[in-house]
Structure 1
Amino acid sequence: MTVAFGASLLGACQTQPPPDPAPKLAAVDAPTPDASWREVGAENLVILKTMSGDVVIELAPEAAPEHVAQFREAVRANLYNGEYFYRVIDGHVAQAGLEFEHLLEDWAELPLEAERAVDPDGFVPLGNEDLFASQVGHRDGFAVGRENGQEWLLHCPGALGMARNAPPHSGSTEFFIPIGQRRYL
């Protein structure tokens, strides 16, 4: 598996059309972009290249700044190049990274960053509670849960999370992607 940062280079791939000597028709205003779309900064975009195709990942530094910083550093250090998803459980998760402790010695174990104080601005509720949170919704395109003044990202299928051992402060460089409904992770 190879992980590489991606950036939109569409403009660089286009060539200029030859000049058209024919008169132009009146310009038509381009449609206004849908307000539900937003740009993703290149520093928060990772393209995971697998033998089955590319996976585009958006990082959420506001939710987990230390984990995002270490993941970026691992990507830039080519830590994941040539690695595999060593744990894939159908309907559960796909897990990758350096699975052997001696390979992780140079990487810090990070504190759990799962919960943060609730910011009332920018939260879009779904309108109903679920089994894991009294309020669920979205913030900046990410699924979040809220309860007791705390907010956290939800581990919905396709999300990316840092894998850890039983202690809550044991996340390092391993990551997982839920394949099924694994919100309790």
Structure 2
Amino acid sequence: MHRLILLPALFATAASAQTGWQPQPIAGATEPSDVIANSVAADWRPIDPENLLVMELADGGRVIIELAPEFAPVHVANMRRFARAGWWNNATIYRVQDNYVAQWGNGDAEVALPEGVVAQPPAEYERPLAGLDIRPLGYPDSYAPMAGHVDGWPMAYDPARNMAWLTHCYASVGVGRDLAPSTGTGGELYAVIGHAPRHLDRNIATVGRVIEGIGHLAARPRGTGNLGFYDIERGETPIPIRSIRLAADMPEAERPRFEVMRSDRPAFTAYVTGRANRGGTFFQVPAGGVDVCNVNVPVRRVTS
């Protein structure tokens, strides 16, 4: 029986490329919540409705995903075609693996690809640095020479190779695929619901992130089948998906709107510094460092 699956989880053992580094806490760093509260309109960028996927679950849950066409243009174009063709309507969440991923799509069902979908996209696992306005994180990364943010996205990069890639952080969305040379069409997707599986970086196309409703994926019963797949023979039932639409195709009055904190502004620098040097009345020992996946880039819903 053929399945589109992720490669099995492996323990990451990469050591920091910057040995000898010691944390240097910064006293009096601005608290991240204060940075957000005192931000101005120019510190935020609106999310294009063409880059918002709205997943409606049959039980009433809603999951909203921001797409990243700058990093995976062919896969994202496929996903827009899947959404506009209604290909995911009546699909399911059929895999929930503890501390790893929740995966959805049509699975083993033989559903014809919509017109225009590229059946074998290129391996969009990394892209050239050219054109990216990167804000370096400023702290070591265990999986790449450098890490940072671009346009509010967590990413890693290698200046020597002139390449960059999105990082697998909590709520990141990637493309389920079979063994190489398969790259996945973008019809089978997963969201990270556990500790950041950075060993998947540059091995799978990362196409976006859940910006609202991750609990509707993370809080599901775990599958008892291999790799967390729901075992029908044991009475486990995949979670039905009613529809997945692009926000751009929804009526104006129903369209969700969000903004992401821009990473090229002083406010974001203050935010990252605050995340690395938590103080206040609770934190007695500031870490003096932060992982790219622990920056938690602020996203806010626009209500007017």
TM-score (norm 2): 0.47
1:62 and 2:70 correspond: yes
CA distance in 2, matches of 1:52, 1:131: 39
CA distance in 2, matches of 1:104, 1:115: 29
Report 1:1-185 matches (<5 A). 33-50=40-57, 51=59, 53-100=61-108, 102-103=110-111, 108-119=119-130, 121-147=132-158, 148-172=161-185, 173-180=187-194, 181-185=196-200
| Letter paired with 1:81 | N
1:126 offset after TM fit, Å? 1.0
Gap runs ≥5 in structure 2: 1-37, 201-304
Secondary structure of the residue that 1:166 maps to in structure 2? coil
Conservation of the 8 A alpha-carbon contact between 1:161 and 1:177: yes
| Letter paired with 1:150 | M
Cα 1:34–1:95 shift into 2, 3 Å: same
TM-score (norm 1): 0.76
Cα 1:94–1:146 shift into 2, 3 Å: same
1:36 offset after TM fit, Å? 3.1
CA distance in 1, matches of 2:183, 2:98: 25
| Post-superposition CA distance 1:108-128 (Å, at most 9, x none) | 122210111113652111112
Q: Which has the higher contact order (CA 8 A, sep 6+)?
A: 2
Cα 1:52–1:92 shift into 2, 3 Å: farther
Conservation of the 8 A alpha-carbon contact between 1:74 and 1:80: yes
CA distance in 1, matches of 2:133, 2:144: 18
1:159 offset after TM fit, Å? 1.1
1:129 offset after TM fit, Å? 2.6
| Letter paired with 2:190 | F
| Letter paired with 1:124 | R
| Letter paired with 1:179 | I
CA distance in 2, matches of 1:168, 1:130: 29
Secondary structure of the residue that 2:68 maps to in structure 1? coil
Which structure: greater helix fraction? Answer: 2
Conservation of the 8 A alpha-carbon contact between 2:92 and 2:106: no
Corresponding residue of 2:7: none
Corresponding residue of 1:23: none
Gap runs ≥5 in structure 1: 1-30
Q: CA RMSD in A?
A: 2.1
Conservation of the 8 A alpha-carbon contact between 1:98 and 1:104: no
Corresponding residue of 1:4: none
Cα 1:79–1:179 shift into 2, 3 Å: same
1:169 offset after TM fit, Å? 3.5
